[in-house]
């Protein structure tokens, strides 16, 4: 004999309280999502052009190179790929997107801090604050703030 599934009373009201995950994202994050989706296409193009022997500038978080298939080049391409995957996940409201975003923001913050500290250790005198760092902190803060609501509205 098969049991019928239990239906919680008033469950339809619980479903009605759910909001679309995309609405949890502020406008500035939506702008950056589209920028990094575009960069995701550029990642693919950079890999293709790199195979064909072209050289072009790659830079992120203070890591810069003109060689796409160098260690720094592959790290920068990988970071852009992570950002593109995160942007796609956030836009399409995937369960894993917030966690990818948090990892992306923490990794970016650590790299930025490293790039800002290394010149001081090597006797470079002068302030160096990366512009990306200024955006990473609110990005991380917002992701941490909406994480619970993102999971509830899944």
pLDDT tens digits, 42-99: 999 999 999 999 999 999 998 899 999 999 999 999 999 999 999 999 999 999 999 9
pLDDT band at 18 (very low <50, low <70, confident <90, very high): confident
DSSP state of 66: S
Instruction: Provide, rounded to the nearest whole percent, the portion of the chain with pLDDT above 90.
Output: 68
Burial 58-95 (b: 16+ CB within 10 A, else e): bebbbbebeebeeebbbbbbebbbbbbbbbbbbbebbe
Enter the tokens of residue 8: 């919680």
Alpha-carbon gap, residue 28 to 135, rounded angstroms:
10
Count of Cβ atoms closer than 10 Å to residue 144 Cβ: 13
3-state secondary structure of 17: helix
> What pLDDT does 10 receive?
58
pLDDT tens column, 137-148: 999 999 999 999
Instruction: Provide the pLDDT confidence category of residue 19 given band limits of 50, 70 and 90.
Output: confident
CB 96, CB 85: distance < 8 Å: no
């Amino acid at each position: 004999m098969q049991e019928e599934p239990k239906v919680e009373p008033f469950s339809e009201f619980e479903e009605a309280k759910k909001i679309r995950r995309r609405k949890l994202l502020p406008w500035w994050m939506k702008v950056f999502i589209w920028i990094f989706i575009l960069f995701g296409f550029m990642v693919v193009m950079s890999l293709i052009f790199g195979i064909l022997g072209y050289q072009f500038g790659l830079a992120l978080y203070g890591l810069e190179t003109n060689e796409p298939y160098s260690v720094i080049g592959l790290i920068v391409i990988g970071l852009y790929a992570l950002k593109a995957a995160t942007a796609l996940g956030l836009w399409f409201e995937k369960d894993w997107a917030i966690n990818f975003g948090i990892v992306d923001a923490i990794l970016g913050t650590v790299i930025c801090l490293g790039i800002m500290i290394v010149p001081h250790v090597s006797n470079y005198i002068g302030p160096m604050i990366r512009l990306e760092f200024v955006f990473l902190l609110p990005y991380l803060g917002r992701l941490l703030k909406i994480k619970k609501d993102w999971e509830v509205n899944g």
